[in-house]
Amino acid sequence: MEGRANSGSTILTISPSIQREFAMSKTAITSPELAPPVGPFSQAIEVGGFLYFSGQVGQDPATGKVVEGGIVAETERVFQNLSAVLKAAGRSFDHVARAGVYLTSMSDFVAMNGIYAKHFSQPFPARTTIAVAALPLGACVEIDLVVKA
């Protein structure tokens, strides 16, 4: 069976062998050190030579609650959680290509950045930091990663 795409008056026919090249294989990565996700998502997923990490908040795996102590304690716990998933994938922070940081207050940026800097060396991953209205479990920081598999 051939795939077809119709764009206006032009029809593009895609052979089955080309369709297979574009098929996506996904593998879930799960750390036994963390509580299983409570929603329909994976801790990380491997696709096309990269690992895409779901955002981690400072959730204590033992209690299921965000750790107390504010931005420093939460950021430290986030990195422990990310480290657990990296370990399950056989990777480390040295393999991180990109990080996304989400803060409920940009006034926490300096404190978060101090903890963040402890986990990376040059060349540093690309990073985006975004202020958001709220995060899961009332957290003040969430971080996701893209990692070379």
How sure is the predictor about 2, in pLDDT bands with cuts at 50, 70 and 90? very low
> Which of the four pLDDT bands, split at 50, 70 and 90, describes residue 141?
very high
Domains and CATH numbers, the chain: 25-148 (3.30.1330.40)
The answer to whether the beta carbons of residues 108 and 78 sit under 8 Å apart is: no
> DSSP string of 71-106?
HHHHHHHHHHHHHHHHHHTT--GGGEEEEEEEES-G
Q: How large is the average pLDDT for residues 129-135?
A: 98
